[in-house]
Structure 1
């Protein structure tokens, strides 16, 4: 009897290994870049407002990638798509640290383009595992993204303290990502034969239906807070709290610890509490974290605040994906592309707006303005279970 649980654990780990590696290495690549944004800003010679506008080039790449992301994934299979597109992002990332402003715009555009296709493929791998095996792995897969953020932010703070250049750091992150993709290719079973193109003409963009629009409204506030922490969290720690690079890296890690622990437990939480309760709890955690962060007078308070925010934003996208797969009509890959497109369009103006607030008001104001959006997520929580919302004019 003791052998059966051990075999089940082994089988579960084997099933989870490919998406875990993909999400983990993607996070290492991502966070290594974003924790060095202050140094990259300095090398570009621009202020925060201009940097916020420059960061908009990746969403433009996302916008252009989404019409074809689902189709490429269906045509090549999720496995092949993932191990082709993530290495492209890895090779682009060192260039982002040394390019002039025009080069940064081009490379960041391409980074957003290929990373979007990868995201659709990676989510399809996880949801495919759930459908084939009956085991929930989506939240845990995203949990390894958070584990990667933790490892990457701590390493990034250490390397910054040791004066390792952002270029060399991204070379190391890219090399790790390439090795991870090679391992995924070796250990992942082959997918079914690629899907044949559907007969007849299809619209360039998959138009999101009412269900997907409501799902996007549900997670909108949580998603933009997550993005704000990625874009401006390290600036807040360095400039508002005067943390040195090593301390900033450790404090930033509190955000990723909260996110990682919540995501690793997310599949059990979904079974135990239901999606609506999780969305509401997430919104409360994020709101409490923001208020604690903007009032922080010590590193401990800031770390606790970031931990709460990490816990709160952790399940936003996994819940959006699982709700889309459960309630969406048509091809899952195209529904996921429509979800990503709608979220991207709804948040596309946020980085430059927050950059303007950070530059001309304060970094505190950058986070305070997000609180009404978090309230929206709280009110829209019933959408996660296909039920009516607390807002009559948006009832599902």
Structure 2
């Protein structure tokens, strides 16, 4: 197995591990809610604390990615991620629970920046799109983690035993796959930029981040409002209403598994344009339907539309020639998490005075924003089979990478 192939499998494991522990936490939220007698508003505040920890970690992780290297930072995060989750199960009061969730959010966010930087580095060496597949592994890991929560509840396993056992097993497999971190040198940029200070992203990258913001707003809204929307618009039962998010998630995972081939065939800009259009069509279909079956088709189309945009955003950020990859990924991650946080309450705000259908139409307009900004994702991206999808300035570098990959 060549060096780049080993690194590819290592990144697969780290994405799955990151999703696994996050899914484990998500699957036991009801148990945490019951243990601390939390109402919906209190739980919402705690979830904001967790997301706040992630957002705080992004710029720090961006700087450390350039100073230590993405593989070393990923390894450090992998060592701390499990213990951070276990501290959540050990919390005995609301303040300690909030502190534990903030720490868990920080490790989750830092690993998110590092592993996306590492994934983009592997993608450059392979000279083909693999980021959608990596993100599919995160979704798969999250699904497995949430499923372990179901069995843990059925078997009456405590959160401490559940969190610690999955953390140890997942970390052992992941750290074995990562192996010994290699010495890495930061990729030079066209500007004289230091790796240990904050870098303000260029305008083009901010527009790429705006694509992440618009898509992540929709993702957050799907998680919190899909069941409510189905129940209100189709009059379905509470159990059947949960199928909306299930259809959305299943379609997203399936599309991400096929996403690398799609991007290789179409290129990042056209893929993003089609993705935004499909998501918009799915939202319009959902809003215009009053039957469960058609609405589920609409949610599935939204999942297909959102699936590969975020992996492309991270790949685009990591390949910007004007800013270090760690800082670039941190910038778009901040906008992505901001959208994820803002989406659910904004939908609720719009729904309160204009109705839930209008709120979902707002998400459709945001999907169209991704269509309009799709060309921004074509600049300075690695070669995805057809070199016409890349900047001409990078083609000599891409040829050198392809030759180096074949030589391994």
2-side partners of 1:298 and 1:288: how far apart? 17
**CA distance 1:12–1:230, shift in 2 (3 Å):** farther
What is the aligned counterpart of 1:113 among 97, 106, 113?
106
- Runs of at least 5 residues in structure 2 that lack an aligned partner in the other structure: 381-408
Q: 1:300-353 deviations in whole A, cap 9, x for unaligned?
A: 455434432221211121111122233341321222122223434565544544
Q: Is the 8 A contact 1:157 1:250 kept in 2?
A: no
Partner of 2:326: 333
Displacement, 1:215? 0.3
- For residue 214 of structure 1, report the CA deviation from its aligned partner: 0.9
- Cα distance in 1 for residues equivalent to 2:350 and 2:151: 29
Q: What does residue 175 of structure 2 align with?
A: 185
Aligned to 2:9: 17
CA distance in 1, matches of 2:351, 2:163: 29
- Cα drift, residue 272 of structure 1: 0.9
Contact (CA 8 Å) 2:195, 2:324: kept in 1 or not? no
Verify the 8 A CA contact 1:293 1:302 in the aligned structure 2.
Answer: yes
In structure 1, the partner of 2:383 is none
Q: Distance in 1 between matches of 2:30 and 2:228?
A: 7
Contact 1:34 1:230 (C-alpha < 8 Å) held by counterparts: no
Match of 1:211 in 2: 204
Tell me the equivalent position of 1:318. 311
- Which structure 2 residues correspond to residues 303-382 of structure 1 after superposition, within 5 A? 303-345=296-338, 348-354=341-347, 367-382=360-375
Q: Distance in 1 between matches of 2:220 and 2:125?
A: 32
Partner of 1:136: 129
Distance 1:26 1:269, change over 3 A: same
User: How far did 1:36 drift?
Assistant: 4.8
Unpaired segments of 5 or more residues in structure 1? Answer: 1-6, 388-396
Deviation at 1:259, TM superposition (A): 1.5
Deviations 1:169-226 (A, max 9, x none): x753553343233223223354432559x99977753212112111012232211111
Q: 1:54-92, CA deviations, whole angstroms, 9 ceiling, x for partnerless residues?
A: 322233223321222023233443333223324533333
Q: How far off is 1:112 after superposition?
A: 1.9
CA distance in 1, matches of 2:25, 2:168: 16
Aligned to 2:117: 124
Distance 1:77 1:204 in 2: 15
CA contact (8 A) 1:228 1:351 kept: yes
SS state at 1:136 partner: coil
Aligned-residue offset at 1:292: 4.6
Alignment of 1:26-105 (within 5 A): 26-37=18-29, 40-41=32-33, 43-93=35-85, 96=88, 100-105=93-98
Are 2:50 and 2:102, in contact at CA under 8 Å, matched by a contact in 1? yes
Residues 221, 67 of structure 1: alpha-carbon distance in 2 compared, 3 angstrom cutoff: closer
Q: Please, what TM-score do these two structures have when normalized by structure 2? A: 0.75
Judged with a 3 Å threshold, the aligned counterparts in structure 2 of structure 1 residues 227 and 347 are, in CA distance, closer, same or farther, namely closer
Contact persistence 2:66–2:195 (CA under 8 A):
no
On the 8 A contact 1:208/1:339 being kept in 2, the answer is: no
Q: Indicate how the Cα distance of structure 1 residues 72 and 261 shifts in structure 2: closer, same or farther if over 3 A, else same.
A: same
Root-mean-square deviation (Å): 3.9
> Could you list the per-position Cα deviations for residues 254-275 of structure 1 after superposition, in whole angstroms to 9, with x for gaps in the alignment?
3332112211222221121122
Q: Could you report, residue by residue, the CA deviation over 1:16-71 in whole angstroms, capped at 9, with x for unpaired residues?
A: 32111111122222233335545544555455445434322233223321222023
Contact 1:224 1:350 in 2 (8 A): yes
Against the structure 1 CA distance between its residues 360 and 21, is the aligned structure 2 distance closer, same or farther, given a 3 Å change threshold?
farther
For 1:390, the equivalent position in structure 2 comes to none
Q: Distance in 1 between matches of 2:182 and 2:142?
A: 32
* Per-residue deviation, residues 335-383 of structure 1 (Å, max 9, x unmatched): 2122223434565544544566789998767645433322222222221
Q: Is the 8 A contact 2:52 2:105 kept in 1?
A: yes
* Residue 297 (structure 1) shift: 5.9
Question: Does residue 223 of structure 1 match 2:216?
Answer: yes
Paired residue for 1:145? 138
Q: 1:175 aligns with which of 160, 165, 171?
A: 165
Pairing 1:282–2:275 present: yes
Aligned 8 A contact 1:146 1:257 in 2: no
SS at match of 1:380: helix
Q: Which residue of 2 aligns with 1:3?
A: none
